[in-house]
Structure 1
């Protein structure tokens, strides 16, 4: 029987730690499910996986079901075993799950420029406030994911702080990197944070303990907490705070770029997207709203034009002479 830890140990260095951690959690869940029913988890029979999917779909989101199925497929591939996930029994179980519940994921609230300005203005003039303001600004300008923000180092900044290197991303597992550009305001906030913290190298955004540097980088969960804390300081509504996440900076920046007229390819390059479908989900709300705003504005203009007289001055008088001539 294959041991899970031994299986994943082979993959260290070939896959990111986050990816392996996710696979491990999903496979542990599947392994325990199989053990309770006296089933083998590796290799797993197609009908075992199908029953697992049917049960998972009762309580889990479709995205979670897909993640766990991907993990099962991955384990069989790494163990050089036939992949039962392509069997018709499994495919039918996936279709049942999709028909049972929506596959549409809940969209996080985009942290657009309007919300960003409010949150930046609410950041206090403290070491924590300077770090939070710099992180929010960098996240918005670069369209970085939380996992990318925590990997940034001082060495990735250009000398004038007008751009930085994003060394690795979800879609760039081999570390080719991409260049992201920073506004003057963002460069200023980074400078204020680095000066106050006296950081000269190493992780750009570091944790703080009792208002002192912890001398270690933030974790992805910290980015989410910083975003929500800044939103609370800015007195956003409770539903708005709840809908925000570490991904909101990326989503909001993409929405703003779309609304002001950037083409899809330009936004994809700026945010390091490989799929138009993924980007479309982020900007659909912004594009639909912008379309309706234009519609309402144009209809209001048409309505106003219809109410304005065609010419100024007194209203034209009827030609009584012509009318009298006709009556005769």
Structure 2
């Protein structure tokens, strides 16, 4: 059963014995949920190392410190909660202890201070994230009326905003959308990766015809030679033929960067959360919107707009891929406040 303990390819044979011994004598006696949490958290780290071109932990303190620092940087750019990040780092510390490897999480003052300050900033971000203004339908209409896209970057950004509203997408779902997941005939989007989807089957979300038109405009512009009245060759890596839909755009905003499905690390095909965050800032600036909107504004605003227009809880759950009615119910309550007794009283007396 020792193969259930994840060990990345860079791990030396000399300390596998310690891992196996812990697994046989202790790990199997832990609660199943604890076992699953440890395995899941370490597998996330192993996947990160693979994508970032890192070898993983070994018996070198400097290497382990570098791996964890890079991991913390990426975690703090993600939409993960503060507690989730702390739990993942705790799992790594546990594994280093089990494997009897140098543990910079305990031994490196530099790394401990780096993590402390990074998480403090992350906590501030999470607070501002929670206070983001919902992108309701009226605010989205304001954006679509005011923003007339002039570059490929602006076409991509506008399509992203509308897609996230329609499908109530989280940022980590948006960056994994592929061209083949969009079905124009049925106005649907297949979302294969979702925080709430434990089965891996995915869920379908609705896309409006106007959003589909924006996606088409973005793809057509990407596949056209800027400054030349001709399409890009079919084998041009800057074309969108398939694969990840929303990609990095060159500095001048008129062409996609060459796409490589197999690229990892900073050259990976998918966008980072920070890229999506900047997309929302750019659109808000172009539309002259003073309210603070962030990538989560689309999901919250979509839910609030559904509630304001009479959607039932099951309809809201289906639209956003929620397994529980708790969050849709919360957004429904938020929408109901604007139609409640005090709102009616204020309207009656023109307050």
TM-score calculated relative to the size of structure 1: 0.59
Shift of the 18–212 alpha-carbon distance from structure 1 to 2, 3 Å rule, reads: farther
Q: Find out whether 1:184 has 2:225 as its counterpart.
A: no
Q: Residue 144 of structure 1: which of 150, 163, 169 is its match?
A: 169
Determine the structure 2 residue equivalent to 1:221.
274
Q: Give the 5 Å matches for 1:276-295.
A: 276-292=325-341, 295=344
Shift of the 290–224 alpha-carbon distance from structure 1 to 2, 3 Å rule, reads: farther
Indicate conservation of the 8 Å contact 1:7/1:78, yes or no. no
Determine the structure 1 residue equivalent to 2:82.
64
Shift of the 17–221 alpha-carbon distance from structure 1 to 2, 3 Å rule, reads: farther
Q: d(CA) in 1 for partners of 2:164 and 2:303?
A: 11
Unaligned runs of 5+ in 2: 12-35, 50-80, 99-125, 224-239, 260-268
Indicate conservation of the 8 Å contact 2:337/2:343, yes or no. no
1:140-171, CA deviations, whole angstroms, 9 ceiling, x for partnerless residues?
Answer: 11001010011000011114361121111111
Determine the structure 1 residue equivalent to 2:140.
116
1:16 shift after superposition: 8.2
Greater relative contact order structure (CA < 8 Å, 6+ sep): 2
Range with greater deviation from structure 2 (261-270 or 284-293): 284-293
Indicate conservation of the 8 Å contact 1:259/1:287, yes or no. yes
Q: Give the 5 Å matches for 1:1-328.
A: 15=40, 20=45, 64-65=82-83, 68=86, 72=90, 106-120=130-144, 121-160=146-185, 162-198=187-223, 199-210=240-251, 211-214=254-257, 215=259, 216-237=269-290, 240-241=291-292, 244-292=293-341, 295-296=344-345, 299=348
Aligned pairs, number: 232
> What's the secondary structure of 1:247's corresponding residue?
helix
Shift of the 163–147 alpha-carbon distance from structure 1 to 2, 3 Å rule, reads: same
Q: d(CA) in 2 for partners of 1:204 and 1:126?
A: 17
Q: d(CA) in 2 for partners of 1:75 and 1:275?
A: 33
Q: d(CA) in 2 for partners of 1:107 and 1:232?
A: 18
Q: d(CA) in 2 for partners of 1:22 and 1:280?
A: 35
**Higher CA-based Rg:** 1
Shift of the 23–290 alpha-carbon distance from structure 1 to 2, 3 Å rule, reads: farther
Q: d(CA) in 2 for partners of 1:22 and 1:283?
A: 37
1:281 shift after superposition: 4.0
Q: d(CA) in 1 for partners of 2:170 and 2:42?
A: 16
1:21 shift after superposition: 8.7
1:260-312, CA deviations, whole angstroms, 9 ceiling, x for partnerless residues?
Answer: 111112111110112333334444433212325762477469xxxxxxxxxxx
Q: d(CA) in 2 for partners of 1:107 and 1:142?
A: 21
Shift of the 73–20 alpha-carbon distance from structure 1 to 2, 3 Å rule, reads: closer
Q: d(CA) in 2 for partners of 1:183 and 1:262?
A: 16
State the superposition RMSD in angstroms: 3.8
Q: d(CA) in 1 for partners of 2:97 and 2:344?
A: 57
Shift of the 281–161 alpha-carbon distance from structure 1 to 2, 3 Å rule, reads: same
